[in-house]
Homo-oligomer: A and B are copies of this chain.
Amino acid sequence: MTWQTYLKQNEARFLSELFDFIRIPSISALPSHADDVVRSANWVAQRLTTAGVEHAEVLPTGGHPVVYGDWLHAPNMPTVLIYGHFDVQPVDPIELWDSPPFEPRVENGCIYARGASDDKGGMLTPILAVEALLQSEARLPLNVKFIFEGQEEIGSPQLPAFMAANRDRFACDLVVSADGLQWTADEPSLVVGLKGLAALQIDVQTANSDLHSGLHGGAVPNPIHALVRILDSLRSPEGKIMVDGFYDDVVALSEVEREQLTAVPFDETAYKASLGLDDLFGEPGYTTRERNWTRPTLEINGIWGGFQGEGTKTVIPNQAHAKITCRLVANQDPANIIRQISDHVARHTPPGAKVTITPRSGSSTPYLMPTDHPGNVAAAAVLEELYGQAPYVTRLGGSIPVCSLFLKELAAYTVGFGFSIDDENLHAPNEFIRIRNFERGQRGYCMLLKELAETLTQGSH
């Protein structure tokens, strides 16, 4: 029996198993559901074992657990680590659900339930694919390890320390993430870049107390004026970041990459309308998409100082504050960026103002996987076969911390290979997954493991 036939013949059972998995309300954000997260971990370990995966184990992290498993019987072949998560988002506002969130409901080819798409349907997919390959061929084309976590929806607080302490166990040549999106229900995409983050606060101090603008107006510095001067100097009127050296480490877009980005559908008129904006805004010389996905940004996230109440107060305040985050792209370094901004601010501080720059939490390293990496080459080939068209090569303006974490701790890139769609109400009421993509994903993982056995052994990777 081929793996294709095996998948076909077990469709109903696989759906039924997904329903069982979904029925465990493994909400990581709610302490009252901590036991459900553990139950969910145990279910995953059991399911790995059933699939033929060995050494399936629930590992403590100090928080919600991690599930490990492996199949390592392909000597001299590369090892792939497959990632996903079995925790889910809370269900509030519960009254907006059309049916109970942890009781799967099937309608129009979709399964409605919390976690159906993010990420229980996603992470079950490669387990089922591995079972199909082992049942049909008695072996996998390369070595496979699994890592499933139970804390993704709360920011994976224990994962960095856990990975640093378990590098050997998870050593691999490539990570494949089963937590991710395709472009639409019928169009594939390959995410190759994620942004990093640098966060800081600017505090401006002038006199030793707030001052009466009648007694002191015209004589003394105003920290809000100093702050707006500093902040306005950070970007040109057109939106270019004016901090010396800020763009120095940015990997320039190649012509091929610009063409790939241009090929990705984008309706700018509809985008503006959806946000209620008359105009978009940003660095000259780049398309909106290029700016959003491939160019670093500097945004003031908050500002405050002086009187914010009703009416009028004739005060010259003595403090003003702003919070800034920069979204970074490869190969910018968050600490270096904060140094450059600090230098810039020092040069642009008006007389009479004392300015302090404080780095804030949330710093993360940008991530860029070469489009021609054998992992991407394999995924692109499989996606093209699955969908009948080549994947759009995309990036995200946000971060997926595990990608940088795996690159740092395992020296391995992460290929995104998930089959969710962003219209599937992830994190919202009435989350659903399309059954045809759940099944397409199972075929996809069988094909991907075979393809990776080829591409990862060609060349020097």
The docked-state distance in angstroms from the alpha carbon of A195 to that of B314 is 12
The docked-state distance in angstroms from the alpha carbon of A200 to that of B197 is 37
Partner of A275, one of B220, B293, B300: B220
A355 to chain B minimum Cβ distance, whole angstroms, is: 12
A352 within 8 A of B: yes
A212 within 8 A of B: yes
A145 within 8 A of B: no
A216 and B314 contact, CB distance less than 8 A: no
B208 and A312 contact, CB distance less than 8 A: no
B211 and A275 contact, CB distance less than 8 A: yes
A296 to chain B minimum Cβ distance, whole angstroms, is: 8
B362 and A219 contact, CB distance less than 8 A: no
A207 to chain B minimum Cβ distance, whole angstroms, is: 4
The docked-state distance in angstroms from the alpha carbon of A292 to that of B217 is 6
The docked-state distance in angstroms from the alpha carbon of A361 to that of B303 is 24
The docked-state distance in angstroms from the alpha carbon of A214 to that of B206 is 34
A222 within 8 A of B: yes
The docked-state distance in angstroms from the alpha carbon of A278 to that of B206 is 9
A288 and B398 contact, CB distance less than 8 A: no
Contact residues, A404-421 vs B (CB, 8 A):
none
Contact residues, A292-313 vs B (CB, 8 A):
292-293, 295, 297, 299-309, 311-313
Give the interface residue-count category, chain A: 35 or more
Partner of A218, one of B229, B303, B397: B397
A327 within 8 A of B: yes
Chain B residues with CB under 8 Å of A283's CB are 218
Partner-contacting stretch, out of A2-10, A253-261, A316-324: A316-324
The docked-state distance in angstroms from the alpha carbon of A362 to that of B235 is 35
A367 to chain B minimum Cβ distance, whole angstroms, is: 13
Chain B residues with CB under 8 Å of A399's CB are 214
A281 and B216 contact, CB distance less than 8 A: no
A225 within 8 A of B: yes
B301 and A323 contact, CB distance less than 8 A: no
A303 and B302 contact, CB distance less than 8 A: no
The docked-state distance in angstroms from the alpha carbon of A2 to that of B293 is 92
A360 within 8 A of B: yes
B288 and A219 contact, CB distance less than 8 A: yes
Cβ-closest chain B residue relative to A215: B397
Chain B residues with CB under 8 Å of A222's CB are 281, 299-300
B325 and A314 contact, CB distance less than 8 A: yes
A345 within 8 A of B: no
A277 within 8 A of B: yes
A163 within 8 A of B: no
A75 within 8 A of B: no
A221 to chain B minimum Cβ distance, whole angstroms, is: 4
Partner of A216, one of B219, B303, B397: B397
Query: Can you list, as one digit per residue, whether each of A158-184 has a CB less than 8 Å from chain B (1) or not (0)?
Result: 000000000000000000000000000
A selection of 12 A-B contacts at a CB cut-off of 8 Å is: A211-B275, A213-B299, A215-B397, A220-B281, A224-B301, A225-B299, A228-B300, A228-B303, A229-B232, A302-B315, A311-B361, A312-B362
Task: Name A residues whose Cβ lies closer than 8 Å to a Cβ of B.
Answer: 195, 197, 199, 206-209, 211-222, 224-225, 227-229, 231-232, 235, 237, 271, 275-283, 288, 291-293, 295, 297, 299-309, 311-317, 320-323, 325, 327, 350-352, 354, 360-362, 396-399
10 nearest A-B pairs in the assembled complex, by CB-CB distance:
A214-B398, A208-B276, A218-B291, A302-B306, A302-B307, A279-B352, A221-B281, A312-B362, A279-B351, A232-B232
